[in-house]
Structure 1
Amino acid sequence: MAFTEPAKKSLGQHFLHERGIVARIVQAVDPQPGDCLVEIGPGQGAITFPLLDRHGELTAIEFDRDLIAPLSEAARAHGRLRIISADVLDVDFTALARELAPADGKLRLVGNLPYNLSSPILFHAIDHATTIRDMHFMLQKEVVDRMAAAPGSKIYGRLSVMLQAYCSVTPLLNVPPGAFRPPPKVDSAVVRLVPRPPDAAGIADPKRFADIVRAGFGQRRKTLRNALKGVCDEAGFARAGIDPGARAEQLSVTDFARLSDTPKPEPAEPHA
């Protein structure tokens, strides 16, 4: 059972307490012998302790130092809990996988992510996607909707493309505000992310791909010709088979991958 450490508004903490939701999350994760589970932001242990009951061992990353001692004490009745006191954005998941999962080098991430940091955490995770088997995260429902959005949708954007390029994205269940203490002002949802093979999207240059996606959606009302000025030229659009008069939200992940495979335009020669 979770303990009752008060939530800190400054850290965006909303602690899950609804047991039915917790049970469905644990069922979705379905930990198996040999799995290396890593929880981001265990909070009061609502998901931590049922996972420990099921699996027996868990590593947790917790930023709030006031939670570490009570978490450690309460966990003794459930299993073996290792806590890393750190900001998750400073944790090298690739190095952690080598340490914790030497057999297959894969982590399974779980977490009720702080909503004000969800996008940076997601991007940090995909930077280490080759060492992650899957991720089950609780997020603001609006964010999950954006993550899973299809091209042409009003909510399809940079987050959609970047995550779908590297992971399959499956929304699992919606969670009402009353399932948390204190209740947030938004609905929440649980999503499953499963990293795809590194070459699945055909991205030869991940940095150029990210730059093109960022530029394309940075001025989403503009055509690609204008939004990608200096990033992709007419020859690049022609080579990729992309209409420069289209807008970023009309392009699929594969379209962006083809654009990123074109050479970066040479800088214009200065006039004498």
Structure 2
Amino acid sequence: MNNNVPEIGSPARTKAILNRYRLVAKKSLGQNFLSDLNILRNIVTAADVTADDNVIEIGPGIGALTEQLARKARKVVAFEIDANLLPVLDDTLMDYDNVKIINQDILKANLPEVIRDEFEPGHPVKLVANLPYYITTPILMGVLQSNVSFDQIVVMMQAEVADRLVAVPGTKAYGSLSLVMQYRAHVEVAFDVPRSAFIPQPNVDSAIIRLTPREPLPVMPYDDKALFGFVKGCFAHRRKSLWNNLQGIFGKQPEVRERIQTVLQRVDISQQLRPERLTLINFIELVNAFHDEGLM
């Protein structure tokens, strides 16, 4: 390792790499290059990456975060969709023999298979990434439903999306995304990232989100996918009452309306409430009750 070469994430090295390879950030891929070493190191710290950890990274770019991960982790496997960045990564990360780059769209990857093939069993697996903002939600949903038990997930995303992930009932940001994420994991904001930390500078601020496996809930839904679909339906018209949204899901026939009222009375939830007033447990109790009633 050449100790005289600045780290990849320093502003000077980032600009030098971009100039050398004549790279221009592709808006279509949500590319912005993080060039603040303190923030890069803090991301690794937030994930508590150790020499025993295997790490999945998404969108390594020119390798700034990858380098910081490689210095701490047992092995890093990074998914990069942009083939033009492969020779750049081969160059910038040549000193790290514990890094493998896979040229593939993470949404099309078989994560369990990759982890089985690339990592030795018996070691923690973590996901650490600066996510492309335009597909943050699909990536997180795919990861959380991939049947991979990540010990820790630490990702950067648009601050507005981060607010939705950690939102609580009764707030404007609270919605179906909040509920689905909080059903899967304990979600918290680790720290904020200003737009000035990137080259080129994006139009939005960012935040680092940490997701950790949650303890089993006191009540579990009869089916995960049924819960997610039900929650989405309840927030289809968030300014309308729960009663109106439930009729949108199940129908407005008199017999159906009567059964909806029966379920609401059984779980002791007012039909006049708006969906954003309900907790995760409320939604689980509702989906189970509608299933018992034969409506799901």
TM-score normalised to structure 2 length = 0.84
1:212 to 1:262, Cα distance in 2 relative to 1, 3 A: same
What SS is found at the alignment partner of 2:177?
helix
Aligned-residue identity in percent = 34
- Counterpart Cα distance in 2 of 1:233 and 1:98: 46
Describe the superposition over 1:105-126 as per-residue Cα deviations: whole angstroms up to 9, x where unpaired: 8531111111111111111111
1:161 to 1:129, Cα distance in 2 relative to 1, 3 A: farther
Q: Which residue of 137, 140, 146 corresponds with 1:122?
A: 140
What residue number does 1:205 align with?
223
Shift of 1:72: 2.1
- Counterpart Cα distance in 1 of 2:147 and 2:209: 16
Is 1:97–1:105's contact at 8 Å kept on the other side of the alignment?
no
**Structure 1 stretch displaced more, 235-244 or 210-219:** 235-244
Matching residue's letter, 1:31:
V
CA RMSD of aligned residues (A): 2.0
Asked if residue 172 in structure 1 is aligned to residue 199 in structure 2, the reply is no
Matching residue's letter, 1:228:
L
1:30 to 1:152, Cα distance in 2 relative to 1, 3 A: same
- Counterpart Cα distance in 2 of 1:151 and 1:79: 47
Describe the superposition over 1:225-259 as per-residue Cα deviations: whole angstroms up to 9, x where unpaired: 11122448222222333222211100111111111
What SS is found at the alignment partner of 1:137?
strand
Is 2:186–2:213's contact at 8 Å kept on the other side of the alignment?
yes
- Counterpart Cα distance in 2 of 1:200 and 1:113: 32
What residue number does 1:138 align with?
156
What residue number does 1:58 align with?
76
Shift of 1:197: 4.3
Shift of 1:179: 0.3
Asked if residue 148 in structure 1 is aligned to residue 166 in structure 2, the reply is yes
Q: Which residue of 266, 269, 273 corresponds with 1:246?
A: 273
What residue number does 1:46 align with?
64
Asked if residue 28 in structure 1 is aligned to residue 55 in structure 2, the reply is no
What residue number does 1:270 align with?
none
Asked if residue 71 in structure 1 is aligned to residue 71 in structure 2, the reply is no
Shift of 1:195: 2.3
What residue number does 2:209 align with?
191
1:58 to 1:156, Cα distance in 2 relative to 1, 3 A: same
Is 1:209–1:260's contact at 8 Å kept on the other side of the alignment?
yes
**Structure 1 stretch displaced more, 230-239 or 168-177:** 230-239
Q: Which residue of 80, 96, 113 corresponds with 1:95?
A: 113
TM-score normalised to structure 1 length = 0.91
What count of residue pairs does the alignment treat as equivalent?
Answer: 267
Shift of 1:99: 3.0
Is 2:62–2:92's contact at 8 Å kept on the other side of the alignment?
no
Q: Which residue of 25, 37, 44 corresponds with 1:19?
A: 37
What SS is found at the alignment partner of 1:209?
helix
Q: Which residue of 109, 120, 126 corresponds with 1:108?
A: 126
